[in-house]
A and B are shown apart, each in its own frame.
Chain A
């Protein structure tokens, strides 16, 4: 049996080739698929800090919108704004993933595995949120294992902090106001935080993405 398996592996590895994908035998296709999967770099346990790759000086020199995103796993990176007018603001990462925000609130993502496929919200514009608590409904759409859309319906409350505060993002201080959003569903409580600068732009946030990814942290780096 061991001899048999050794020969199979040798045969797969040495002589599998074709100039047209339609001429690959099923075994070649299976082998190539697994080879591709195995050759993908394994998930790093320690992630490089994006600040070491893109220091503040460089950020200022570039003079383009840059968004720093950090996942619960520690994976982090900087994203640049996708050009043109789209549905929301879409940011593109070096790994080919995109994250889309509407008023700085997470709207969708792609290329992140368990993606947020889309969302809708009855949240008013930031400028219209006064000191009182406001309530509204948010709906988050996900892809099921059966490739259907499942919607998480959340009843949310947004509370604006009374006072302004100062936060530091990559060595630069910003005057911001904290907005805390608490959302409930049947079996979930989500707390999102948004720090808005004086232009009502979300400077920093911690937002729920999905069950698998968890919360993502965002920081807007350009001044």
Chain B
């Protein structure tokens, strides 16, 4: 009894300690990136073994390893200064029945927690969990320390699970609790869950190795692994516990490593590491904004606003000016920003132009951004107060009061965009993680057209015709006992090959009141569903919170995706809470009824960077039992959204989102078109403005 109480005390202590160190953010302690080698599991490592180091905060690593009996692709993310995660998709064996002759394919998920950074007399210390969700092919845990000595980086650790093969000893932590003595079996069910938690249990084995820095670009590595590779014994000949490797850094992003593993296998690993905080070109290139003028009593007076010049300057920056109206000491400006991804930078540009070319009488500007017919956000600018801030950026902060987000009454605005719009171009779509075809892709043509009936009231349609595809090579068919609302994707892929209507809808969006937005739409809403529905969103300008409500009545579309409909019909809806403080994390929770008629909630947590990157993940838990859901147990995904201006170093609003969704099944399935209001306005909102405040006067 006393032992159990002691165990719980230790648990609480460890938890508190972990929470404390996870959120510690101290850039000064960040480790030198050149000292951190990325291993074959996508996290700090020697070759297959981990090290005690950590990746720089926010670092994203994409990796691919290939040898005769293994193909491993993965993405890793240093989500917090001290916590990194890695997701991998591996094909094992050869002469098997799955794609590329693999014996099986497996998804795995790791966590690496840095406890201490290296000090003069202390090594860097970390602990980690490998493959702790799902089937646990690589299930193992470790404590590891690394210490640099000149060009050597020495590592030693103790492993559990798979890492406790050679020279194993009884678990030293059994003195804390007998629960550590024996490793309980992993009951993983349909996969995708933590299963039975057996972390750090059972026998342990020591492991060690080193990295040797040869100049600035080459690292030589050697390690002694305790992993017996028992899971791979059917196709892998393990002749030695030693692994050897050499890696070469081609540039600041790309690293190539050649390795000799287990005394029998030659292997190649390529990693691409990017950090959202470190763009290829610092600052970015664009034309300089208009310099402001002095507006004091002793300065050169300006008695008339130059409206023509303001419009010209805004046009040069690709702003579409819908309204420029002077009223007493206020100027009202409504624009569509077509150039700058950063709303902060757009506000700065507009404010500078207004500050310089309006008369001294005009003291305040109200700037409103129009996004797809919605007044997405408004800012109040004190034109006199900002004068000193343009070249004193430290003065511009949320407390200065010179620029603040405000709620305005919906305005009468005449949109200057053309009523009839059209576009023609290619589309590319892909599917991942099908064991028969891990990566399938389709490219084709898309023709889209829209007509604005009145402001906010639009008819929109898009048709697609595939030109080149291997989506049709998929042999997977749904075995779902639930209504097949998403899992019949393969039938839609086949059915749509003759050309299909991707969307055809009538929609109406409107600013209902200050901070209140509304949308309704009807028609062929998306490839799998037709129906009618709408949403409302309440997002006060200064609030970090928003709340939304959506409801839809939908019916499944025919597999050929023309005008035909199938029998399944349902009503779904969600209450959604959004939280974005403008700092590191934002959260979205959708609770309600899903497409298959199941009830539950989706939680999305993402990290947004000031550079415009977003990395996040979501999980949906509904009343569908894990066994009924099928493989993966519940719906979940991780995603990365990359802004093009980060790559190009010039203003550009385009971004690309890569979503890794391990399994597409019917439990927790959502209507993709159900909630668009928040997505439409969020980039213009105060939180985005605050996140990139340094860019205000760029």
Contact = CB atoms under 8 A, between A and B. Distances in A.
**A and B: interacting chains:** yes
A113 B279 CA distance: 12
Contacts of B277: 144-146
B662 interface: no
Contacts of B427: 25-27
A47 B417 CA distance: 42
A85 B301 CA distance: 10
A141 B338 contact: no
A90 interface: yes
B426 A25 contact: yes
Contacts of A34: 648
Interface string B263-281: 0000000000001111101
Contact of B694 (A25, A28, A117, A211): A117
Nearest to A212: B282
Nearest to B318: A21
Contact of B282 (A15, A33, A118, A145): A145
Interface string B624-639: 0000000000000000
B426 A8 contact: yes
Contacts of A24: 423, 425
B121 interface: no
A30 B656 CA distance: 8
B83 interface: no
A75 B183 CA distance: 67
Question: How many interface residues does chain B have, given as a range?
Answer: 35 or more
A113 B299 CA distance: 31
A139 B393 CA distance: 11
A183 B89 CA distance: 53
Interface string A11-25: 110011111111111
A113 B283 CA distance: 5
Interface residues of A, number: 63
B698 A115 contact: yes
Interface string A150-178: 01000000000000000000000000000
B294 A33 contact: no
B276 A146 contact: yes
Nearest to B396: A149
Contacts of A27: 425-428
Given A25-B448, A97-B288, A145 B425 contact: no
B418 interface: yes
Contacts of B418: 19-20
A44 interface: no
A34 B289 CA distance: 24
B377 to A, nearest CB: 18
A113 B449 CA distance: 38
B695 interface: yes
A122 interface: no
B153 to A, nearest CB: 24
Chain A interface mostly helix, strand, loop or mixed? mixed
Contact of A86 (B292, B393, B441, B650): B292
B694 A147 contact: yes
A15 B443 CA distance: 13
A151 B417 CA distance: 42
Nearest to B426: A11
A119 B390 CA distance: 10
B390 A87 contact: yes
Contact of B698 (A88, A100, A143): A143
B421 A20 contact: yes
A111 B392 contact: no
Given A30-B654, A33-B648, A117 B698 contact: yes
Nearest to A3: B468
Contact of B394 (A86, A98, A141): A141
A183 B205 CA distance: 55
A23 B422 contact: yes
B644 interface: yes
B421 A23 contact: yes
Given A19-B418, A85-B294, A149 B423 contact: no
A60 to B, nearest CB: 27
Contact of B288 (A15, A25, A111): A111
Contacts of B697: 117-118
Nearest to A17: B424
Contacts of A143: 282-283, 694-695, 698
Contacts of A199: none
A22 B421 contact: yes
A5 B205 CA distance: 48
Contacts of A184: none
5 contacts: A17-B424, A20-B417, A29-B654, A37-B648, A111-B288
- 4 A-B pairs closest in CB distance: A18-B423, A23-B423, A110-B288, A147-B610
Given A19-B420, A84-B356, 7 more contacts: A11-B426, A18-B421, A22-B421, A28-B426, A114-B283, A118-B392, A120-B392
Interface of A: 4, 7-8, 11-12, 15-30, 33-34, 36-37, 40, 82, 84-88, 90, 92, 96-98, 100, 107-115, 117-120, 139, 141, 143-149, 151, 211-212
